Homo-oligomer: A and B are copies of this chain.
């Protein structure tokens, strides 16, 4: 029962533990296609000076590079922790088939990561969020969307 899935998750957990000793956060992820790990990722935010370098985002970028497509349909992701909104968004954009996770966003909060806070912020109306968020120049920006709509040979996704 779930034997293979547990093996893949153990690999993600192993990455999360090894990453702590490698100046990274305690997070790891692997992406599986046709029963094989095709890409891995760990948290390299502070070591790479990249706030987007979470384990899942890195695993997704690596998988997309390996497969030569932005569309990861047919792949599954195993993450050692429930994804934050950034990573969950990336999982949807990548069209992954399935998500396995182990630790929860509450567990992440308990060791002082902001995952829960960001989930709460996304749930608030724009005007109540901590980061001031202001709409300007909508009439000018919509021209880009109109141009996109009328473009015949665009690559949609």
Give the docked Cα–Cα distance between A131 and B72 (Å).
Answer: 13
CB of A154 within 8 Å of the partner chain:
yes
Interchain CB contact under 8 A, B89 and A144: no
Interchain CB contact under 8 A, B99 and A131: yes
Interchain CB contact under 8 A, B70 and A157: no
Chain B residues, CB < 8 A from A123: 123
Give the docked Cα–Cα distance between A136 and B1 (Å).
Answer: 12
Contact with B along A142-157 (1 / 0, CB 8 A): 1111011101001111
Query: What 9 pairs between A and B have smallest CB-CB spacing?
Result: A86-B89, A102-B141, A85-B89, A26-B148, A51-B94, A16-B144, A26-B144, A51-B93, A51-B70
Interface residues of A (CB under 8 A from B): 2, 5-6, 9-10, 13, 16-17, 20, 23, 25-28, 45-46, 48-54, 57, 60-61, 64-65, 67-72, 80-82, 84-104, 107-108, 110-112, 114, 117-119, 121-123, 131-138, 140-145, 147-149, 151, 154-157
9 contacting pairs across A/B (C-beta < 8 A):
A9-B141, A13-B140, A16-B144, A20-B154, A49-B69, A50-B64, A52-B61, A91-B131, A97-B131
